[in-house]
Amino acid sequence: MLHDDGGPIIDLEGKVVGLVNNQINETFVPSSILHKCFDFWRRFNCMPRLHLGMTFSPIKFLDPICIERMTRKHNIDSGLIVEQVSKESHAEKIGIRKGDVIESFNGKHISTTIELESMLIDMCWDHFDQRKKLNTEKDVSVKIFDATKICQRTRNLTAIVSDRGEDIVKAMSVL
3-state helix/strand/coil string of 100-114: CEEEEECCEECCCHH
Q: What are 36-66's pLDDT values in tens digits?
A: 888 888 888 888 989 999 999 999 888 889 8
pLDDT of 175 reads 46
Of the pLDDT bands very low, low, confident and very high (cuts 50, 70, 90), residue 22 is low
The whole-angstrom separation of Cα 124 and Cα 64 is 34
Domain boundaries, the chain: 1-45, 49-162
What beta strand segments (E) does the chain contain?
6-10, 16-21, 27-30, 49-51, 54-58, 80-85, 101-105, 108-109, 136-146, 151-162
> Domain 49-162 classified CATH 2.30.42.10?
yes
pTM: 0.81
Q: What are 87-137's pLDDT values in tens digits?
A: 999 999 999 999 999 999 999 999 998 899 999 999 999 999 898 999 999
pLDDT of 36 reads 87
Contact (Cβ atoms closer than 8 angstroms) between residue 108 and residue 119:
yes
More confident residue, 16 or 79: 79
